[in-house]
Structure 1
Amino acid sequence: MSNRQLLEQQLLNWRHELHRHPELSGQEFQTTDKLKQWLSEYGIETATWGLKTGLIADIGTGYPIVAIRADIDALPIHEEIEQDFRSTQDGVMHACGHDLHSSTILGAAILLKAQASELKGTVRVIFQPAEETYSGAYEVLKSGALEDVSAIFGFHNVPELALGTFATRSGAFYANVDRFKIVIKGKGGHAGRPHETKDPIVVAAQLISAVQTIASRSINNLDTCVVSITQVHAGTSWNVLPEEAHLEGTVRTHSPEVRLAVEEKLKQIAQGIALAHSVDIAVDWDNGPAALINTATWAELSQTVARAQGYEVQEAPLYLIGEDFGAYLEHIPGAFVSIGSASSFGLHHPQYQPNESLIYPAAQYFAALATQALESIHKNAEV
């Protein structure tokens, strides 16, 4: 077997091992140990930077530093696929492809190590924990591991894209993902004597209707804005009006300005309806991951390198799902890209089964991207 074939098979074996033994967010202890061991076999030293799980490796020396990132956590999903490397952890599955991502970036690290003396700086390789809980990127930022990084790159496999297909875009890509909880406190009583109560269910109905006007009447129609109430809970009996009603939902936007405007409008509507019905309404707003906004220069370079590597390059659509890589791009220029994994079932599905043939070409891609990013920064510094 050629060196390429040997490495390609090794990456597949590693992917299978990670898939057999998935670990949930913040619990990736065995995964971290395995990654450390595998990298050490190729002479790549790692450090934790104080992280509980996950690890970081530097390849090359000096400045500038560019980073490439993989996420390593799995999901609380029971796998429904019969295959040789099926998950051995009941109720836990790599249903988002982070095992593919880790194997890909392992491959990129090994390819970069082989040319470390020729790199015009350092490639910092990040194996990030807890992406699924949107906390891992913030942990890495807090560690200080990215303070000297000039650019950062990452990717996600996309089941809807064919194998060999690549997509990204400049500017906004993934969404702000925010969650809200609303508690309406009224006055309960007999359903046959509603005039003696302050019915939180009627109030909830009006609030639900009013909230739908935020996107249609308060936000510019050219801006992305989705407001969805996804849970409504109230009452315990058919003939009793309850004391409280509880609602939950999510907001998806692509700019910080719209994000803030929706939060303010939601609270304003709640306050107004509470006043009109003499009830108390509490709104708890939880900012999730920030919108992922690609730097135009680096998004364009990522496309150029993809074409050179033989990918069919497409313009990616806007996504309304979240990705905590956006936290990095709030502080560091960079780009996030999509690589086709051609699965019949989508992300987070118990029958998600990506085409793992994407791994080695994607490893080559990220090694080339990191190399060319260093060269680009080096060249611009000389001008």
Structure 2
Amino acid sequence: MSDQRELQNGANDPTRRIAEAAASVAPRLIEIRRDLHAHPELAFEETRTAGIVAAELSRLGIPHRTGLGKTGVLGMIEGGRPGPTLAIRADMDALPIQEETGLPFASGVAGKMHACGHDIHTATLLGVAEVLKGLAPMLAGRVALVFQPAEEVLGGAAAMIADGAAEGIDLALGFHNMPEMPVGTTGYVRGACMAASDRFDLIIRGRSGHAAHPDHAVDPIVAASHFVTQVQTVVSREVRPLRPAVVTIGAFQAGTVHNIIPERVHLKGTVRTLDDETRDTAEAAIRRLVAGLETGMRVTCTLDYVRLVPALANADRVLDPMLAAVTAQLGTRPEEGDPTMGSEDFAEFAARAPAAHLRIGSGTLGRHDHLHNADCQPDEGSIAVGVQALSRAALELLA
């Protein structure tokens, strides 16, 4: 009878129950985060991380599968009544960066670092798992806990989905820590919040020769330089001005010495867009410019253009209940922000089920951190905030 009364009290005051549960698990989650931070693993190498996740889910009595998408883990919490299946996803991989934080739990692996806070994300979802396991009788449906590898290379979500991680998913929640937002705050974007990401490799072949006799050669460096300049007109002169787009050349590889015109140039670029029309326009324009380069500059081109992930779009039917739930739990409404041209392969889940992505402040007063930086230090207080926000969102979505 006391258990039933406690459940009723929790149902009447989920704010208190979730807040107390999050505070209770926070010290253990910080320990786990620091352990993960000291032992970073790159994309599709997250075997140790996955082992820790699986051990925690076993401790909580949560059934789970391992090895999805090579190193992913999928846990499942069954609610007390029938209903939809809600996926909550956290990424686990680190970056190839040499850490310079000086923290006592800094990376012990040379050239590898959790510089994007995926250690924070993994710990947060483990906390959500523990809280929701305790609230399971109140849930109408199931919660799929998706611990995903290889977000940084935009391949882990697709790999897990190929192994069945999205089967039966009706709704999805994603999240990311944001060092530019103070810890304790949250944020969101309505509609498209992160960009589609495409990449291209362009090989331009000319005819090598002595630099003193350029008329005897076909210079691929000059041709490549023309392309680098021309490709900027894709955004400035072909994309509609009110549609955001980015085209960036990230690598220009050619030649070996001062006085030889090389045989070839290798360009590497990325294209970021927020809608399908702009994405199609950019790709078509780049292909046309490459074809024109061959005609105008007497070179031969090989273009490898790959569409990686679509834009991440928040669905109102998930976003609005999530915002209401986070507001009720934390006492302040998430702040509406602008889209980013960065990309996130949670978009693969959002393309298969209505989804929402929550921004969780992880900034510390007096610091000006940014992600993918050797000195990145997200505030660990963001873990408990994320646990509360996501647990309450799941409770409301599966009411």
Would you call these one fold, judging by a TM-score over 0.5? Answer: yes
Residue 302 (structure 1) aligned to one of 305, 319, 322 = 322
Q: Unaligned 5+ residue runs, structure 1?
A: 376-383
Q: Report the counterpart of residue 93 of structure 1 in structure 2.
A: 113
Q: Report the counterpart of residue 350 of structure 1 in structure 2.
A: 374
Residue 24 (structure 1) aligned to one of 18, 31, 42 = 42
Q: Report the counterpart of residue 378 of structure 1 in structure 2.
A: none
Provide the rounded CA distance (Å) in 2 between the counterparts of 1:279 and 1:135: 33
Residue 65 (structure 2) aligned to one of 47, 64, 71 = 47
Cα pair 2:179 2:361 within 8 Å, conserved: yes
Q: Does 1:38 align with 2:56?
A: yes
Cα pair 1:182 1:247 within 8 Å, conserved: yes
Provide the rounded CA distance (Å) in 2 between the counterparts of 1:218 and 1:199: 28
Q: Report the counterpart of residue 172 of structure 2 in structure 1.
A: 152
Q: Report the counterpart of residue 7 of structure 2 in structure 1.
A: none
Q: Report the counterpart of residue 234 of structure 2 in structure 1.
A: 214
Amino acid at match of 1:204: A
Residue 336 (structure 1) aligned to one of 346, 352, 357 = 357
| Structure 1 residue matching 2:170: 3-state secondary structure | strand
| Structure 2 residue matching 1:337: 3-state secondary structure | strand
Cα pair 1:164 1:312 within 8 Å, conserved: no
Provide the rounded CA distance (Å) in 2 between the counterparts of 1:315 and 1:269: 38
**Which 10-residue stretch deviates more, 351-360 or 204-213?**
204-213
Q: Does 1:315 align with 2:336?
A: yes
Q: Report the counterpart of residue 379 of structure 1 in structure 2.
A: none
Residue 244 (structure 1) aligned to one of 240, 264, 277 = 264
Q: Report the counterpart of residue 346 of structure 2 in structure 1.
A: 325
- Give the alignment's TM-score, normalised by structure 2: 0.89
- Pairing 1:1-383 to 2, within 5 Å after superposition: 5-48=23-66, 50-61=68-79, 62-310=82-330, 311-343=332-364, 344-375=368-399
Cα pair 1:170 1:300 within 8 Å, conserved: no
Which string of whole-angstrom CA distances, capped at 9 and with x for unpartnered residues, describes residues 212-265 of structure 1? Answer: 111111111111111112222222232222222222211111112211221111
- The CA deviation at 1:303 is 1.6
**Which 10-residue stretch deviates more, 296-305 or 153-162?**
296-305
| Structure 2 residue matching 1:309: 3-state secondary structure | helix
Change in 2 beyond 3 A, CA 1:143/1:260: same
- The CA deviation at 1:374 is 1.4
Provide the rounded CA distance (Å) in 2 between the counterparts of 1:3 and 1:225: 43
Change in 2 beyond 3 A, CA 1:200/1:83: closer
- The CA deviation at 1:139 is 1.5
- The CA deviation at 1:51 is 4.1
Which string of whole-angstrom CA distances, capped at 9 and with x for unpartnered residues, describes residues 77-120 of structure 1? Answer: 22112223222222221111111111111111111111212211
Provide the rounded CA distance (Å) in 1 between the counterparts of 2:322 and 2:21: 26
Q: Unaligned 5+ residue runs, structure 2?
A: 1-19
Amino acid at match of 2:385: P
Cα pair 2:184 2:381 within 8 Å, conserved: no
Provide the rounded CA distance (Å) in 1 between the counterparts of 2:140 and 2:221: 64
| Structure 1 residue matching 2:140: 3-state secondary structure | coil
Provide the rounded CA distance (Å) in 2 between the counterparts of 1:92 and 1:209: 35
**Which 10-residue stretch deviates more, 336-345 or 231-240?**
231-240
Question: Equivalent pairs: percent with the same residue?
Answer: 37
- The CA deviation at 1:297 is 2.0
**Which 10-residue stretch deviates more, 189-198 or 290-299?**
189-198
Provide the rounded CA distance (Å) in 2 between the counterparts of 1:262 and 1:76: 30
Cα pair 1:345 1:352 within 8 Å, conserved: yes
Provide the rounded CA distance (Å) in 1 between the counterparts of 2:206 and 2:69: 46
Amino acid at match of 1:29: T
Q: Could you say what the CA RMSD is over the residues aligned between the two structures, in angstroms?
A: 1.7
Amino acid at match of 2:64: T
Provide the rounded CA distance (Å) in 2 between the counterparts of 1:351 and 1:200: 39
**Which 10-residue stretch deviates more, 344-353 or 53-62?**
53-62
| Structure 2 residue matching 1:11: 3-state secondary structure | helix
Cα pair 2:54 2:66 within 8 Å, conserved: no
| Structure 1 residue matching 2:339: 3-state secondary structure | coil
Amino acid at match of 2:377: Q
- The CA deviation at 1:361 is 2.2
Cα pair 2:41 2:49 within 8 Å, conserved: yes
Amino acid at match of 1:95: A
Provide the rounded CA distance (Å) in 1 between the counterparts of 2:58 and 2:256: 59
| Structure 1 residue matching 2:193: 3-state secondary structure | strand
Provide the rounded CA distance (Å) in 2 between the counterparts of 1:171 and 1:283: 32
- The CA deviation at 1:4 is 5.4
Cα pair 1:164 1:358 within 8 Å, conserved: yes
Provide the rounded CA distance (Å) in 1 between the counterparts of 2:357 and 2:348: 12
Change in 2 beyond 3 A, CA 1:113/1:208: same
